[in-house]
Amino acid sequence: MNIIIIGGGASGLVSAIIAKRNGANVTILEKNKQCGKKLLITGNGRCNFWNEQQDIKFYHSNNIDIFEQFLKANKTKVLSFFDSIGIVSKNKNGYYYPFSNQAVSILNALLTEVHKLKINIIYEEVTNIEKSQNFKITSLKNTYYADKIIIATGSKAYPKTGSDGFGYILAQRLGHSLIPIFPALVQIKGNASYYQNWAGIRCEVKLAYYEKNIYQKEEIGEIQLTDYGISGICAFNLSNQVAKSLTKKQKTEILINFVPWFQGTKNDFKEWLDNQNKKLNKYTLKEILEGFLNHKLVNLLLNLANINEKTTWSQINKDNIVKLIMEFAFIPTEVLSFTNAQVCSGGIPLTEINMKTMESKITKGLYFTGEILDVNGDCGGYNLGFAWMSGIVAGENITKKED
Ligand SMILES: Cc1cc2nc3c(=O)[nH]c(=O)nc-3n(C[C@H](O)[C@H](O)[C@H](O)COP(=O)(O)OP(=O)(O)OC[C@H]3O[C@@H](n4cnc5c(N)ncnc54)[C@H](O)[C@@H]3O)c2cc1C
């Protein structure tokens, strides 16, 4: 059986290995001059390739029930696959990395197996696919024929790695529909004038996201305050919902709590500050705040509250500063574009795919893997997780004989 895989990224490489191990004749068509360009930059070059906590709450899809069944059936397959290609991993609080701490170890292990199995890689960009008896695949240079194909072209996120969204067009030409795509895991912009003064601050926070003043979601962790708004894992994990709300022109707001370690209400915090003030006799408010907040942030908060650095706790409007510390209102105006986004939400609907095999329900012999499908995950190894799982399932099933 001749199989062509379009896209030599994370999911394409895995599906190629499994299909070839099962006896198929496999060719990968990759538009870049190398495979796995995106893989090399994952996890800041360290590749967070899996997460121990495979709970459905870390994944997003318009058909999450379908995905839940898929996750249950396939989550045990990933670590044994990586063991089979010699990857020794480290588990850091549930987050899996190669023990070398280098994404290149994951890519090289995949490519070593690809070469040992004598999988053919052709570096050409696919421009069209037609289906009659079999598949006719046109690249910029040649025409190829295959009994079955896998579209593993990724999404539209971070297009300089090769995934420019053209895969969606190929899928649509073969009869599929597309759930609108949005950038996800991306920086959030606002337009307040004081961002110049908070740029460069990194701090642990709790972010609470509101749409039309209704609480939606919370994230705890580190953020970076930048000259355009907010960045970092916590902000990334909210960015997709923010993008969708902004598109609907809904009022969106993120309340930043700069004291996520404090258990209690704003009144409790006011009392706690009262006690600090009593304990730290003769301290200014600035000196008290510097005991637990970033130095640059203290200056900004005092500035916004119109509080002089010599002022003491007893001299001020306490509600105002407490609100700034516990419920700092960040108003998103937009999220950065696909150019910066780590992943996309939306994609080919799961209702059009047999998720037990990854085969299209619309075009027989056509399979999909990875981010082109309507599944995206939070930061933490979930997106690669889906790439591996879907690659394994497609590779296992594409080689099966028809009943
Ligand atoms: C900066 C960054 C950091 C990330 N870090 C992590 C992380 O630590 N953990 C995690 O789980 N996820 C991470 N991700 C997300 C993860 O990398 C992707 O979800 C994953 O690579 C998707 O795999 P894929 O196989 O679907 O697509 P890709 O890996 O994008 O591969 C698609 C391939 O198809 C090729 N292609 C596209 N169109 C054509 C065509 N017409 N013809 C031929 N070839 C084509 C592309 O060149 C590319 O090689 C990160 C993403 C980015 C951008």
Q: Is residue 143 part of a domain?
A: yes
What integer is the mean pLDDT of 29-44? 98
> Residues 135, 23: one domain?
yes
Q: Is residue 341 part of a domain?
A: no
Q: Which long-range contacts (CB under 8 A, 24 or more apart) does 131-139 make?
A: 131/174, 131/363, 131/365, 131/366, 134/365, 135/4, 135/365, 135/366, 137/4, 137/6, 137/29, 139/29
Q: Is residue 342 part of a domain?
A: no
Task: State the alpha helices, DSSP H only, in 174-305.
Answer: 195-198, 233-247, 266-279, 285-289, 295-304
3-class SS of residue 188: strand
Atom of ligand 1 nearest to the CA of 157: 53
Examine the fold and report which residue of 336, 365, 386 is the final residue of a domain before the chain moves on: 336
> Residues 259, 376: one domain?
no
> What's the residue count for the chain?
403
Q: How far apart are CA 153 and CA 167, in angstroms?
A: 5
Band (401; pLDDT cuts 50, 70, 90): confident
Q: Is residue 96 part of a domain?
A: yes
> Residues 223, 288: one domain?
yes
Largest separation between any pair of C-alpha atoms in the chain: 85
Q: How far apart are CA 102 and CA 284, in angstroms?
A: 47
Q: How far apart are CA 69 and CA 75, in angstroms?
A: 10
> Residues 109, 45: one domain?
yes
Atom of ligand 1 nearest to the CA of 126: 42
Does the Cβ of 166 fall within 6 Å of ligand 1? yes
Over 60: is that where the pLDDT of 236 sits? yes
Which of these, 142, 109, 180, 148, lies nearest to 19 by C-alpha position? 148
**Beta pairing, strands 214-225 & 376-377:** unpaired
Which of these, 184, 144, 148, 152, lies nearest to 170 by C-alpha position? 152
> Residues 135, 257: one domain?
no
For the sheet with 50-51, list strands across it: 50-51, 95-98, 89-92
Q: Is residue 403 part of a domain?
A: no
- DSSP annotation of 160 reads G
Q: How far apart are CA 191 and CA 234, in angstroms?
A: 19
In DSSP notation, 20-73 reads: HHTT-EEEEE-SSSSS-HHHHHGGGGT---EES---GGGEE-TTHHHHHHHHHH
> Residues 138, 22: one domain?
yes
Examine the fold and report which residue of 336, 362, 390 is the final residue of a domain before the chain moves on: 336
CA 153 / ligand 1 centre spacing (Å): 8
Does the Cβ of 12 fall within 6 Å of ligand 1? yes
Q: Can you point out the beta strands (E) in 274-398?
A: 328-330, 334-335, 343-347, 353-354, 359-360, 366-368, 376-377
Question: pLDDT for 131-190, tens place per residue?
Answer: 999 999 999 999 999 999 999 999 999 999 999 999 999 999 999 999 999 999 999 999
Over 60: is that where the pLDDT of 363 sits? yes
Cα 246 → chain centroid: 19
Examine the fold and report which residue of 336, 367, 389 is the final residue of a domain before the chain moves on: 336
Both structure tokens of 85? 């290609």
- Would you say the pTM of this structure is higher than 0.85? yes
Atom of ligand 1 nearest to the CA of 29: 43
What integer is the mean pLDDT of 348-364? 98
Distances from the Cα of 100 to the Cαs of 11, 87, 109, 235, in angstroms?
Answer: 22, 9, 12, 28
Q: Which domain holds residue 223?
A: 187-336
With contact defined as beta carbons under 8 Å apart, do 162 and 9 qualify? Answer: yes
> Residues 111, 240: one domain?
no
> Residues 69, 41: one domain?
yes
Residue nearest to atom 9 of ligand 1 (CA): 381
Domain count, the chain: 2
Band (403; pLDDT cuts 50, 70, 90): low
Q: Is residue 286 part of a domain?
A: yes
CA 290 / ligand 1 centre spacing (Å): 42
Q: Is residue 263 part of a domain?
A: yes
Does the Cβ of 31 fall within 6 Å of ligand 1? yes
Q: Is residue 371 part of a domain?
A: yes
> Residues 325, 351: one domain?
no
Question: pLDDT for 263-302, tens place per residue?
Answer: 999 999 999 999 999 999 889 999 999 999 999 999 999 9
> Residues 176, 48: one domain?
yes
> Residues 166, 26: one domain?
yes
Q: How far apart are CA 400 and CA 396, in angstroms?
A: 7
Both structure tokens of 306? 């119109």
Band (22; pLDDT cuts 50, 70, 90): very high
Q: What is the CATH number of the domain that holds 82?
A: 3.50.50.60
Does the Cβ of 183 fall within 6 Å of ligand 1? no
> Residues 155, 278: one domain?
no
